[in-house]
Amino acid sequence: MFIFVRMHSTVKKSRKVQIEEKATTLFREKGYAATSMRDLAQVLGIEAASLYSHIKSKEELLQKICFRMADRFFDAWKEVETEQNSYAAKMQKAAIAYVQVITQNTDASAVFFNEWRHLSEPHLSKFLSMRNDYEGRFIEIIEKGIAAGEFQQVDSKFMMLAILSSLNWTHNWYKPNGKLSPEDVANKLSNLILNGLKK
């Protein structure tokens, strides 16, 4: 007779990962400027000096959060590029991809949207360049949709800002355990957007 024993394995997070996660939460709750290394050490239960054996500075943590989120937005855009049906369908997919990234980690999203101004050069310029690139992709969909007769004649940059501004607030009210899934939220918001764009 064979006896099967279920092995329980727990993967302990590295100290570096723990630091980044706690920093993300603190940056959202207190703001980057108001969060000190002492605050971070306190929530981790370690001495402030011990942090520097894992990270170079507080800003290094902000850089990692901001650029990791930026990379996730660009990775999600790969799904948008596969859409060939219409510009309306492409815009819907773009909105869905955007919301899904935001809702995966609302703390990191809040830091990404609100604390990027504290980045120093050359990181600030790199961040702004990536943001302009991403915004340009939304503008391109709008302009091509107008040219194809799918969308109304609108100011494409203004419309892009209106769309992204409405989506950016998702991290403030989305609840991971709520009634709406990320897909539900994304579909509802993208439908609102498209109702304002379509002829």
Per-residue pLDDT at 199: 66
Mean pLDDT across 187-196: 79
Q: What is the dihedral of CA 53, 55, 58, 59, to 10 degrees?
A: 150
Per-residue pLDDT at 19: 95
Please tell me the pTM assigned to this model. 0.86
CA distance 6 to 77: 40
Per-residue pLDDT at 156: 95
Give the 3-state secondary structure of residue 199. coil
Per-residue pLDDT at 60: 97
Q: What domains lie within the chain, and their CATH numbers?
A: 12-55 (1.10.10.60), 66-197 (1.10.357.10)
Distance in angstroms between the alpha carbons of the first and the last residue of the chain: 71
**Chain segment 1-43, per-residue pLDDT in tens:** 444 444 444 456 788 999 999 999 999 999 999 999 999 999 9
Q: Tell me the sheet residues that pair with 151.
A: 198
**Chain segment 86-143, per-residue pLDDT in tens:** 999 999 999 999 999 999 999 999 999 999 999 999 999 999 999 999 999 999 999 9
